[in-house]
Structure 1
């Protein structure tokens, strides 16, 4: 589930955390950084092997003579299968989809451990180029849900970004520190520098990530969905959200942003700030869609088919516009 524990839930642990701070031995936070390069990145049948040798589980939903490819990045504590049902719909529209488990999630070798902004962006860049090599000439789109959206923004606003046809951000995780209450940022900093290994859960919080209750129950039973989150992973996610919020103006690719007005995970304030930055850069190729009955997990809500159709329609629009622009250059 994307962002199982929002930072507001940390206040429930304030007193116990304060006690832990007093007695903690000062364990240093850990970051699972990539090892030196050992070869070339490659795609195998069911895994993506990075240039530093990390093997990440992979799911592929092929389409016959695809008009486009979607690379989908999951959210925090989730994994690649988040995109299974949307991908099955997109197959019917001649769109193939790829999704892999990001480091520290799903079936990766270090579940629950944060790998760092640079690593996540580098992995996405490698993966995108491999998919493009497998499907020469077919337009590729990057889709990120929640944390995955922040990773996409980070990757697409840095030097050496992959050349793609467009970007789709579903409820992107852009809750930067500038829009958080002081007690949240202060507590998180304290816990990160004293008990980074401590895990937190979302139990007892009255937060609805989706109106699809059966889907949420299935996620609760899924052993690959992380239920207890390390403090240093939350800190890493917050750094990523900081960077994504600050990078909105730099995102100059064709972009579709999707946001549910009932989102209880990523608040409206930082999302609106991100949209303002997005539109202040290059607004002519940006599309922003708000859904009155949408929750955080838009792609799996009860009204998710509406969002799937909108994604397909937007891809068709961008493909047509690219064809017109190419014809005009002749």
Structure 2
């Protein structure tokens, strides 16, 4: 009898924890204005201020790129490539997504719909200033997942081409079942718990100086809430499901030494995407392709592709994917 009572008490305690500790997520406020682009910030319809950076060519831009940063990062991630592309006639715009960088609720997961809604509004605002130039969307890592979900929607914004750099398409369905369960329980019991990637021994780039600068940058999130991790896994699941609806011509860039996003889901992306797609695999590239030591080669390829997309990359699946795709079949 005592054991049964204790068991019921523990079950009740667990239920109370689950009810009282749900994952925290930002909410979209009521619209109070039209979204607008200012010099160094983007003001959303609900009045949220999203810091923005722009790298502009001295002469009239030949094309425009909207760049979306990765998880725990912010718009500064595109400083180097933005500067390079601006020197080659391309205007580059990037903003801090909600929950990241210098935004008001930094560290709190915004949710997939809110991330996609902000991106649509930002693209519309940038496009209004460049009506006669082609607009491209570039998403890096988590930003790639946001871009995929956005472009797969029925009300996708008018984007000429999509660029995915090491896209985060490794969702919960690709994870070990035990890890998925632990993440779910943690997000619903201790959502406030913060964890870091120390001890995982994952190398994101071979550019040690850049990594050192990121560690010292107060706007780069070092310790992540469990519910934010849970949220980004859900985002990756959504991106994985969005592949079948991606008809926008797409370029995928991936480093063969990427230790964050495995090669297999990236290869599957290339196999399943229904629209025109091109790809470039970099044998010495890591996850942060745009900031690696050999990043200038990636910048050069990207600049050339933006000028003449059909001439730079073949639309066939990269050789590095063929053996993996054979195994998956």
State the TM-score, normalized to the length of structure 2. Answer: 0.87
Q: Which residue of 2 aligns with 1:125?
A: 120
Q: CA RMSD in A?
A: 1.8
2:190 counterpart (181, 195, 206): 195
Tell whether the 8 Å contact from 1:78 to 1:105 is kept in structure 2 after alignment.
yes
Runs (5+) with no aligned partner, structure 1:
1-20, 322-330
Classify the secondary structure of the residue corresponding to 1:193.
helix
Question: Which residue number corresponds to residue 59 of structure 1?
Answer: 53
Q: List structure 1 runs of 4+ shifted beyond 3 angstroms.
A: 21-26, 318-321
Q: How do residues 265-284 of structure 1 correspond to structure 2 at under 5 angstroms?
A: 265-278=260-273, 281-282=274-275
Counterpart of 1:312?
A: 303
Partners in 2 of 1:319 and 1:68 — Cα distance?
16
Higher relative contact order (CA 8 A, sep 6+): 1
Measure the CA separation in 2 of the matches of 1:107 and 1:220. 16
Gaps of 5+ in 2: 1-13, 313-329
Pick from 27, 39, 42 the counterpart of residue 45 of structure 1.
Answer: 39
Query: Would you say the 8 A contact 1:176–1:241 is kept in 2?
Result: yes
Is 1:224 aligned to residue 214 of structure 2? no
Deviations 1:264-304 (A, max 9, x none): 011112222222211xx13xx21011111110000000110
Is structure 2 residue 144 aligned with structure 1 residue 149?
Answer: yes
**Contact 2:17 2:188 survives alignment (8 Å):** no
Separation (CA, whole Å) in 2 of partners of 1:79 and 1:38: 26
TM-superposed CA distance for 1:249, in Å, is: 2.0
User: Cα deviations across residues 199-248 of structure 1 (Å, max 9, x unaligned)?
Assistant: 11011221100000000000000000000100111111011100111211
Q: How does 1:1-330 map to 2 (within 5 A)?
A: 26-63=20-57, 64-278=59-273, 281-282=274-275, 285-318=276-309
Which whole-Å CA distance do the structure 1 matches of 2:102 and 2:146 have between them? 19
Report the Cα offset of residue 88 of structure 1.
Answer: 0.8
SS at match of 2:228: helix
Normalising to structure 1: TM-score of the pair? 0.87
Secondary structure at the counterpart of residue 78 of structure 1? coil
Aligned mates of 2:44, 2:79 — CA distance in 1: 23
SS at match of 2:252: strand
**Distance in 2 separating the partners of 1:23 and 1:210:** 43
CA distance in 2, matches of 1:211, 1:318: 28
Residue 318 of structure 1 and its aligned partner are, at CA, apart by: 3.4
Conservation of the 8 A alpha-carbon contact between 1:248 and 1:275: no
- Structure with max Cα Rg: 2
